[in-house]
A and B are shown apart, each in its own frame.
Chain A
Amino acid sequence: MNGPSVNDRISPELERQIGRLLFEKMQPLLLEFDRDWHLVNLHGDAALFGFAPDDAATSVQQLQDLFLGMPMEAAIDLAFVQMPNGRNAHVHLMLVDGGHQVLLIDAQGEHDRQQAQQQVGNESFLIAQQKDKAVRQLRQIRSELESQRNRLQEANALKNALIATLSHDFRTPLASIFGYLHLLEEEPDAPLETRNSLRALRRNANYLFALAENLLEYARSETRSSLLAPVVTDLQMMVEDLDQMFRVQAEDVGLGFSITLDQEPGEPPILDELRLRQILVNLIANAIRYTQSGSVRASLAWRGGSLVLSVRDTGVGIAQEASEAVFVPFNRAGNAGNGGAGLGLSIVKRLVQQMLGTLEFESKLGKGTCFRIELPDLTHLVQKVDARAESEAGQMLAERASSVLIVDDDPDMSHLLGEIMAGVGFRVRVVADATRAVEQALADPPDILLVDVELPGLSGNTAVFRLRAKGYRGHVVTISATPTEEARKVALNAGANQFMTKPINIEQFTRAMLRVRRSD
């Protein structure tokens, strides 16, 4: 089999043909200069590279600039140089006797191919870099948002804890204030000036109490859903208590005030007494605050298993457009300047909802407002055994009580309770901590143990539990500044017979003690 023949040499004819082909392909331009860079000769298409024949000097200067600063001792090659007309060429400087030759070879095609490749590569790189950067930024933003959310949650929890703690801690001193106020108001011979001072004290204590209760309720609602605490509710006592609380306040600003109860005979209502009281305190306090002249009339009606209460005033009224805003926390619907934290109605609305009730109001600007609330009986939610047990325990207490041991680390509070108990004939002993309470109760068991839950060291509940575990059978009344159903359950589980919250209703408390003495 014959292969192709191989020749080392290209024939002159073939060489000429190749030369012609390359020459046509590269379209060279050869410029010949003398030593002083005067153009001597030119071969090729000058216009292809943007050299204007009529402005040869400028074109030559541009070529010269390409070699600026370079040693003119040897040939110089410059690849891909953009010519004045934008076309790209390879530039070769050759030294010849007596001058220079500059050869320009068209490189536009090769330039364009390289540029297209390079463009794609560079753009891809830049896009990838931007994408990476965007992803990094998004991650950072997400991380910042998460940490911001955590900080806000922490701040919110801290705020709620602070509000709850503060309002909780208000209860003990308020209990003292109300108690001593009561004692002082009972003084029959107090001069007028003293009576006026006491009225001012009660007015401000009432305000502080309502504010603390509202703040506690507000904080509580954000941390957990509130549980209802239905108990047998003495509406008559509540009405009397509220009358005592607000009558003086209303009269001091020249308002008529009344609070009435219309209760059908039969089983007493079972309601969440604390919440009901809070609703009434808020509505009445608001009515007095926003009424310049006229009256505030509250009424409670217990009929057919539901309680209807209304609070009517002749005050500034609520504008139609503010009828929603008044229920927003910390919003006083344009009535700024009249005091109050702006929590009252929002708390009322929430409490009514929690108690499965309904709320409506009518108002006319400048004429007054009437709130009407209907609350259902909560009997179905009551563990009847508890209610009966408390009732029976109260009956037993009434039959045999004669000595009391008061356990409270707040000397004002223990002194107040001691005064009340001594006033109704009890033999009173006082201790300030749970350990001594256990010792004394075991050494000389009192008929009644009045114990504060929040004590230094062992809690009041622990003391009660220990006493019960060692056979103490007396009547235990636990007093706490935490008005929750959980707190009540914990106290009863520890062995208490009754659970009362601060500030205790002195009237109610005193009357109960009086009943005990009467039954002795």
Chain B
Amino acid sequence: MSTNASKVCLLGDFGVGKTSLVARYVRNTFSDSYLTTVGVKVDSKEVPLADGAVRKLVIWDIAGKSGLDALNMSYLRGASGLLLVADGTREATLRSAVDLLLQSRSLLPDAHAILLINKLDLVDRWEVAPATLVELRKSMTVIETSARQGDGVEQAFREMATRLHA
């Protein structure tokens, strides 16, 4: 196995846009239709880094749930990075993302974690307040993303790759 590869899992409530984020990042595509994920979809992409190195991300798009069950826990094994995804238009999904992070810590205490607040293109409908994000940023990296328009997506995966490479 490649030593320059890392497993990164996307966790978050259903409908927050995990599959769309991966599709945007890996294939640069987007679909408006919602199709729920059952189980897991695994993709990979090599990320060239600033120092010339290349980090391969093996990206696990795990079915959306507000809590971790045994099945999802089994998918997390071996992950080095966690991308927690929330939907800015549904504040409850932010609480789910934080809960999922806390639950996953028992299995992955050292995994790098980044919080993505998706659906930036619908920012006029956001329930998540800017002040909340300011507070969250004091304890973790938070990136606003739009799978539809691509904003923040490349940045999020690159940031994860950089951290895993360090």
**Residues of A bordering B, CB below 8 Å:** 37, 62, 64-71, 76-82, 88, 107, 111, 114-115, 118-119, 122-123, 125-126, 129
CB-based contact B39/A65 at 8 Å = no
CB of A432 to closest CB in B, whole Å: 62
Q: A68-B1, A69-B7, A82-B41 are in contact. Are A119 and B74 (CB under 8 A)?
A: no
How far does the alpha carbon of A115 sit from the alpha carbon of B35 in the complex, in Å?
Answer: 8
B166, CB-defined interface residue at 8 Å: no
CB-based contact B1/A64 at 8 Å = yes
CB-based contact B42/A122 at 8 Å = no
CB-based contact A65/B5 at 8 Å = yes
CB-based contact B40/A81 at 8 Å = yes
B31, CB-defined interface residue at 8 Å: no
How far does the alpha carbon of A79 sit from the alpha carbon of B80 in the complex, in Å?
Answer: 21
CB-based contact B35/A119 at 8 Å = yes
B90-148, CB < 8 A from A: 90
B58, CB-defined interface residue at 8 Å: yes
B38-87, CB < 8 A from A: 38-42, 44, 58, 63-64, 71, 74-75, 77-80
B149, CB-defined interface residue at 8 Å: no
CB of A239 to closest CB in B, whole Å: 67
A-B contact pairs, 6 of them (CB 8 A): A65-B42, A67-B78, A68-B7, A115-B36, A119-B36, A129-B90
Complex interface bits, B1-21 against A, C-beta within 8 A gives 1, otherwise 0: 100011100000011000000
Q: Name the residue on A nearest B71 (C-beta).
A: A79
CB-based contact A78/B75 at 8 Å = yes
How far does the alpha carbon of A79 sit from the alpha carbon of B40 in the complex, in Å?
Answer: 8
CB-based contact A80/B15 at 8 Å = no
Collect the chain B residues with CB atoms within 8 Å of residue A65's CB.
Answer: 5, 7, 42, 44, 58
A69-B6, A70-B77 known; 9 new pairs, CB 8 Å cut-off, are A37-B1, A65-B5, A65-B58, A69-B79, A71-B78, A78-B75, A122-B36, A126-B15, A126-B34
Collect the chain A residues with CB atoms within 8 Å of residue B40's CB.
Answer: 78, 80-82
Q: Name the residue on B nearest A64 (C-beta).
A: B1
How far does the alpha carbon of A267 sit from the alpha carbon of B70 in the complex, in Å?
Answer: 106
How far does the alpha carbon of A66 sit from the alpha carbon of B43 in the complex, in Å?
Answer: 10
How far does the alpha carbon of A132 sit from the alpha carbon of B79 in the complex, in Å?
Answer: 37
How far does the alpha carbon of A65 sit from the alpha carbon of B7 in the complex, in Å?
Answer: 8
CB of B124 to closest CB in A, whole Å: 12
Collect the chain A residues with CB atoms within 8 Å of residue B74's CB.
Answer: 77-79
Q: Name the residue on B nearest A77 (C-beta).
A: B74
CB-based contact A111/B78 at 8 Å = no
Q: A37-B1, A122-B15, A122-B36 are in contact. Are A81 and B78 (CB under 8 A)?
A: no
How far does the alpha carbon of A129 sit from the alpha carbon of B87 in the complex, in Å?
Answer: 13
Collect the chain B residues with CB atoms within 8 Å of residue A76's CB.
Answer: 77
CB-based contact B39/A68 at 8 Å = no
Q: Name the residue on B nearest A72 (C-beta).
A: B1
Collect the chain B residues with CB atoms within 8 Å of residue A37's CB.
Answer: 1
How far does the alpha carbon of A86 sit from the alpha carbon of B148 in the complex, in Å?
Answer: 22
How far does the alpha carbon of A79 sit from the alpha carbon of B41 in the complex, in Å?
Answer: 11
CB of B102 to closest CB in A, whole Å: 21
Q: A80-B40, A82-B41 are in contact. Are A68 and B58 (CB under 8 A)?
A: yes
Collect the chain B residues with CB atoms within 8 Å of residue A111's CB.
Answer: 38-39
